[in-house]
Amino acid sequence: MVTNAANLVSCCDHTFRIDTMHKLVWLLVALATVSFVSPVRASSDGGGCGQTMKIYYGAFTNCDSMGVVSPGNDTRINLIYLLADARAQKLKMLKPSTEAYSNISNYWPSDWPTFWSSIDLGPKAEIISSVSESGEGTICVSDANGSAGFLAAVASEKSLSDAEKTILSDARKALKCSTAGGGDAAIAVQSQAAKEFAEYIYAVRRFYFVTHNDPTGFAALFNATQPWVREAARYMQGRVSLLAAQALAFDQYGTLQKEGVSREMVTAALDGLTSYLKDYPKGTYAASATGLVRRAYWISGDSQKLAAAYSEAVARSTVDESGFALVNEIDIKLPINADQNNSADVLLLATEDLRMMRQQTDSDDKALPGMKAEMIEAQHSRFVGHEDIYNYLLAARAWFVDRDAKTVLQLLPEKAATGDALGYLEFSGQLLRTSALDAIGDKSARAALVNLFPKATQAFQRGTLELALVLIDERAKNISAVFAPDSLIQEPLLRKYVLDYIAGPILLRQQTVAANVTKDERETALFRLYARDLTQGHFKGFLDDIKMLPSKPVQDADGNPEDRFQSFRWEGNKDGYVCPNLIEVAKLLNGDEMNVRGRLCLAEFIRAQGDFSLPAVAKDELGGTGTLFSGKPIFRQDIYTEIMRNAKATREERAFALDRAVRCYEPAHTNDCGGTEVAESQRKKWYDELKAKYGDTSYAKQLRYYW
């Protein structure tokens, strides 16, 4: 559903509390991301994230932001980090949720929604939310609190009689924007203040039910004697003028068409809003009016003034709910490269510089030349007083663009960290320095990394640091350090990832019986031990290890708890190709790993219980060195192709292998049996062979297609 473009300015007569509107804020932020075409520098609206296990990314993936200031981060996260440093704020994590599918992590931020929902921003103050500040919303979004503001003003107005207060209050309560009606009767009051309140209600009625784009009803109250009415009318006149300016500016998909913007009404809106802010710099609607001024610059395409306005907002912002909303708004609306304007705040400039360090490609997906050092050097004067940011940008460019570790070390000398915690910029610089040391083979890199742990106390720093340490230990073949009694690696996700992707049989067995290991980690180790025993040919090991199989859990009426090891309780096939239970299959293969029945039954076990293999990872990611478990992985397709040509196999077994090999591609034409994919022509040969040589078997009779 596309929201009517004319309704995209939240236009009622109040401010509201963000804690009661948080879910609506997220809905509208998502709507804004989809509905407004802008050079979004940070991300696309990804539908869930699967992170890559490495620290640094040359390109943006939407799912790989880390606890360091980095080009690969969502730019909004980089800006929050820099803003936290500038305000000397320490970002803290919320406690990870125990709810299923929670996106709150204590590991790394992943994407922008996860990041926002993971940071502890403290008690929610009564502030303008992102809906009002950025101007998005619907006409009725603030009706309830607008009514509350009106009622409070009426109650506190001493010149009103009790009867007038009742009449005015009842009239405003009867006015329901969401039901498109109510409260249309005349309001009979006598005093001057009461009449002005009544005129304000008439203006709101017209605004809700007649036209959203005519500010005259509010303009008529500019000289009201009642203070609240006068201020609210001044604010609403500017807001309604802005609605009029954009009434024809959005197409059916919510995309801004600047030729449809009324320049005359933009001028009127800016005049009204800036006049309001001049007279009410700390007024009830000052924050919202400031946001609407920015919106006016945005719809009119004045990127210079928009950059200046955002810079002013950033300069006075802190990392709280409104700060997050502001950063999100900047990402949606500030054009790419506007951060480079001379009017842009240094934090915006640094954020844009980091974005420009990303790997870029042309329309043919060919790599473009990376950002030159001269570009940052030319900005030196703009970083006066912010030399730490400037030096880090130079070092980051040397690393991400040139892969020049020696220059990084020259720009980021080792220094003792001060204070109780590292700011994000200093943390990022020191972590980058350890990466440069590691890149040139300097063995002091690990010690330098370990020395950072006591100071890595801000949100997401610890998880990022743990990953960096595990990566160094993996390359040094020191993975057992992850599970040492004094290990610094505390993040369960990392420990389990190492067990799944890297650990060999000794380490897996160790973690199944180690003291002070969580049940989840112990079961992860045991599950992966069984899986690798069977799929990498360690059948004797499996027969020993299966003795540790936990008892089958007692299940309640709902079938819980889930038996994590149900696969390894496989009882075999009673129909079709008959197989014994899994332990008997392992015994067959332990005596003869090429035993035909054992091999085919192992394939049947894998087919029935699912593929136990893990996705391949790149060499520069955690797990890139491969598992320490010896043995070539066993895939079903390989079993079938070897049995087809095995002289020891019976006629039925060869027919069965041909049938199963063809069905590996059923129905999607892609191999779901593992191993190397074969061409359709080969599948046809298997099919033809089955029909020609084994046509009397049930397998040949039942197979009707090749895929």
Closest CA to 529 of 551, 515, 544, 519: 544
Query: Residue 337 and residue 314: Cα distance in Å, rounded?
Result: 17
The whole-number pLDDT of residue 15 equals 27
DSSP 314: H
Report how far apart the first and last C-alpha atoms of the chain are (Å, whole number). Answer: 40
Closest CA to 617 of 103, 54, 86: 54
pLDDT tens digits for 557-578? 676 778 899 999 999 999 889 9
Render 190-231 in DSSP notation, one character per residue.
-SHHHHHHHHHHHHHHHHHHT-SS--HHHHTTTT-SSHHHHH
- pLDDT above 70 covers a percentage of the chain that reads 88
Q: Looking at the structure, do residues 659 and 620 belong to the same domain, yes or no? A: no
For residues 347 and 86, is the Cβ–Cβ distance under 8 A?
yes
Assess if residue 332 is contained within a domain.
no
Q: Looking at the structure, do residues 535 and 647 belong to the same domain, yes or no? A: no
Assess if residue 75 is contained within a domain.
no
* pLDDT beneath 70, residues of the chain: 1-48, 97-106, 123-138, 142, 179-184, 416-419, 556-557, 559
Count Cβ atoms within 10 A of the Cβ of residue 568 and give its class: 0-12 exposed, 13-18 middle, 19 or more buried: buried
Q: Tell me the backbone φ, ψ of residue 110, rounded to 5 degrees.
A: 65, -80
The whole-number pLDDT of residue 13 equals 35
Q: Looking at the structure, do residues 618 and 644 belong to the same domain, yes or no? A: no
Assess if residue 93 is contained within a domain.
no
The whole-number pLDDT of residue 105 equals 65
Assess if residue 657 is contained within a domain.
yes
Last residue of some domain: 586, 614, 632?
632
Q: Tell me the backbone φ, ψ of residue 176, rounded to 5 degrees.
A: -120, 105
* Contact partners, residue 311, CB within 8 Å, separation at least 6: 343, 344, 345, 348
Q: Which two tokens stand for residue 156?
A: 């506190």
Q: What is the pTM of this model?
A: 0.84
Assess if residue 691 is contained within a domain.
yes
Last residue of some domain: 617, 632, 647?
632
The whole-number pLDDT of residue 687 equals 96
Q: Looking at the structure, do residues 491 and 542 belong to the same domain, yes or no? A: yes
Query: Residue 103 CB: number of other CB atoms within 10 A?
Result: 16
* Number of domains, the chain: 2
Q: Looking at the structure, do residues 580 and 668 belong to the same domain, yes or no? A: no
For residues 466 and 482, is the Cβ–Cβ distance under 8 A?
no
Assess if residue 441 is contained within a domain.
no
* Contact partners, residue 502, CB within 8 Å, separation at least 6: 474, 479, 622, 623, 625, 626, 627, 628
Whether the upstream peptide bond of residue 667 has omega within 30° of 0, thus cis, is yes
pLDDT tens digits for 262-321? 999 999 999 999 999 999 999 999 998 999 999 999 999 998 999 999 999 999 999 999
Query: Residue 65 CB: number of other CB atoms within 10 A?
Result: 31
Last residue of some domain: 609, 632, 655?
632
Query: Residue 417 and residue 465: Cα distance in Å, rounded?
Result: 15
For residues 314 and 326, is the Cβ–Cβ distance under 8 A?
yes
Q: Looking at the structure, do residues 628 and 484 belong to the same domain, yes or no? A: yes
Q: Looking at the structure, do residues 482 and 614 belong to the same domain, yes or no? A: yes
Domain span holding position 519: 478-632
Q: Looking at the structure, do residues 561 and 668 belong to the same domain, yes or no? A: no
* Contact partners, residue 314, CB within 8 Å, separation at least 6: 79, 83, 326, 330, 345, 347, 348
Q: Is 181 helix (H, G, I), strand (E, B) or coil?
A: strand
For residues 78 and 334, is the Cβ–Cβ distance under 8 A?
no
The whole-number pLDDT of residue 102 equals 54
Query: Residue 203 and residue 225: Cα distance in Å, rounded?
Result: 17
Pairing of strands 92-93, 119-120: antiparallel
Render 532-594 in DSSP notation, one character per residue.
HHHHTT-HHHHHHHGGGPPPPPPP-TT--S--TTGGGG----SSSS----HHHHHHHHHH-TT
The whole-number pLDDT of residue 28 equals 32
Q: Is 139 helix (H, G, I), strand (E, B) or coil?
A: coil
Q: Looking at the structure, do residues 583 and 675 belong to the same domain, yes or no? A: no
For residues 254 and 307, is the Cβ–Cβ distance under 8 A?
no
C-alpha triplet 234, 235, 238: angle, nearest 5°: 90
Q: Looking at the structure, do residues 571 and 648 belong to the same domain, yes or no? A: no
Assess if residue 501 is contained within a domain.
yes
Q: Looking at the structure, do residues 627 and 639 belong to the same domain, yes or no? A: no
The whole-number pLDDT of residue 104 equals 60
Q: Looking at the structure, do residues 687 and 571 belong to the same domain, yes or no? A: no
The whole-number pLDDT of residue 32 equals 32
Assess if residue 578 is contained within a domain.
yes
